[in-house]
Amino acid sequence: MANCFVTNRRIEFCETDAAGIIHFSSFFCYMEQAEHAFLRSLGTSVVQPLPEGGHLSWPRVHAECDYIQAVRFEDELKICLWVARLGNKSVSYRFDFFDSLDKLVAKGLVTAVCCRVGLGGSHIESCSIPIPLHKQLSEFTCDR
């Protein structure tokens, strides 16, 4: 089994609906926050300056989430991130959300494309994932 990146997140009041249950849209923010924490753990970021100017960035091209069980304000979630698919220019992250009893409460998938962004955002184009980062990401590729 591949490595899994794990982070925890407590549900805040502003992330719930009128019934005190997490609002569906919050899971998308949690996935993005977990992705950012994961990339930081690898020594990079979703915005990586380039020596020649501009920067690398990771626009999302797909996002989905399946909800299995309700969770509420003050509950703590464990978020497990794996690399579901790793291409030359894109990466798909799989997220499993567990409650404090280790029950799966939601699962999601986000696909991002590595892009070179020109100074001031003047130009954006897809590019190959840098080889050292590609190697790091491959260590988290799941087989399920």
* pLDDT score for 143: 62
> Is residue 24 predicted with pLDDT exceeding 80?
yes
Binning pLDDT at 50, 70 and 90, where does residue 122 land?
A: confident
Pairing of strands 104-113, 60-67: antiparallel
Q: Give the start-to-end residue ranges of the domains of the chain.
A: 5-138
Q: Which CATH class is domain 5-138?
A: alpha beta
Binning pLDDT at 50, 70 and 90, where does residue 92 land?
A: very high
* pLDDT score for 4: 92
User: What is the model's pTM?
Assistant: 0.92
Per the structure block, which two tokens stand in for 49? 């300056």
Rounded mean pLDDT, 18-43: 95
Rounded mean pLDDT, 3-24: 94
- Residue carrying structure tokens 């990079």: 44
CA angle 73, 18, 7 (to 5 degrees): 30
> Is residue 114 predicted with pLDDT exceeding 60?
yes
Q: What is the pLDDT of residues 39-90, one digit of tens each?
A: 999 999 999 988 888 899 999 999 999 999 999 999 999 999 999 999 999 9
* pLDDT score for 51: 87
Angstrom CA distances, 9 to 27, 31, 69, 117, 120, stand at 11, 11, 16, 31, 33
- Residue carrying structure tokens 């897809």: 126
> Is residue 144 predicted with pLDDT exceeding 70?
no
